[in-house]
Amino acid sequence: MKTRKIKRKGGTFRNRLAPVESGIELEDVNDILQRKIRKKETEERIEYEKRDNFIRLGNTHIMSPLSWVHATVWLQKEKCNIFLIGEVHKIRNRKCKSIFNMFSDLIRDIESTPVPSIDILLETTETDINMYKRFKEEKPIETTLKNWAYDLSTDPRQDTFKQINMVRILLSGCIDKYTSNCPFRVHWTDPNSMMRLPTRQHRLPDNIAKLFGLQPEDLEIKYNGYKEDYNIDKNTIYKYFINILNQHGVIQKELKKAEQLNEHFNTTFVETILKQIIDRCITHEIGFFLILRSMIDFYTAARIISHKMENVIVYEGMMHIDNLIFILRSLGYAEMSVLNPQCTSFK
């Protein structure tokens, strides 16, 4: 029989099958087990403290009155905490704190506080975020922000997307990676640039254009409304948008990865939720283009699940945040806190 030698205290060795002397080996095993237990308890305590710090920072900075923001929401499921910022792109209130300043203060506190790995999901495309990254490298961000701050102070309607563009530039260097200068990882949430989808420049199928009261060859004329005297055929609309979603390779890839980790996030669930989103859009007379934009919200939810994110910040337009909350709550995420800061007026 082959035997194995075990090291004893004092540096000597003995055969594994030799008689045990004074229980030394058993004591060593108990010591090792106790050390492992204490190490695990310490790691769990540190993890809890870091997660608690993230929640505290989220409540301090994000769950506060922010400019152009209709609502901020905190969702939770088990160890996962998600803070969502829903911006109304067209409206600005100078009395509320800008989201750019909020992120600047949050980054400062993250850098000086023990926190877990943080993921920030930002409404932008991969193409655009790379453009913002090059822009930041070519031109000092201080100059850009100074010019934009002046424009916003003189005419708050001057650029609908200036506030979110400022944040995109600020965070562009941390896209999809952790570095010495990035205490968090940033993700783009809009994969539509990776696949040709119907846009204002693309021709719509005649039957869909007719339902929405649109000219098939010129979607830009009235891309966001309905023909008042026409009875909309919901089943036709359902089939059209479900087909678009099923043909979107990037979204489908993420959905399949998410389903492997959460069996409830399956095809039936996605199609059911999409139909409910379409119903809500039709009820509120939200038209074709914004229904199409809701596709990215399934991608965002799937990315959170498939990447096993636990400490998350999402900054998007309010319509996307509404859809994302609807999707996540349907998957069992609880609404811990909601703030409607009254920062969506020009007063």
- Token pair 């809890």: residue: 48
DSSP run (H or E) holding 80? strand 80-87
pLDDT (tens digit, 9 = 90+) per residue, 28-84?
Answer: 778 888 888 888 888 888 898 999 999 999 999 999 999 888 899 999 999 999 999
Residue 9 reports pLDDT greater than 70: no
Domain annotation covers residue 18: no
pLDDT at 254: 95
pLDDT (tens digit, 9 = 90+) per residue, 331-344?
Answer: 999 999 999 887 76
Beta carbons of 250 and 256 less than 8 angstroms apart: no
CA distance 9 to 23: 12
Q: What radius of gyration, in Å, describes the C-alpha atoms of the chain?
A: 26
pLDDT (tens digit, 9 = 90+) per residue, 303-333?
Answer: 999 999 999 999 999 999 999 999 999 999 9
Domain annotation covers residue 4: no
Q: What is the largest CA-CA distance in the chain?
A: 95
Domain annotation covers residue 8: no
Residue 257 reports pLDDT greater than 80: yes
Residue 214 reports pLDDT greater than 90: no
Residue 221 reports pLDDT greater than 60: no
Start-to-end Cα distance in the chain: 87
- Report pTM: 0.80
pLDDT (tens digit, 9 = 90+) per residue, 263-305?
Answer: 999 999 999 999 999 888 877 766 677 788 888 999 999 999 9
Residue 50: domain span = 23-339
What does 50-68 look like in DSSP terms, one character per residue? Answer: HHHHHHHHIIIIISS-BTT
Residue 219 reports pLDDT greater than 90: no
* Neighbour order of strands in the sheet with 80-87: 185-190, 119-125, 311-317, 80-87, 69-77, 334-339
Total domains present in the chain:
1
Residue 138 reports pLDDT greater than 70: no
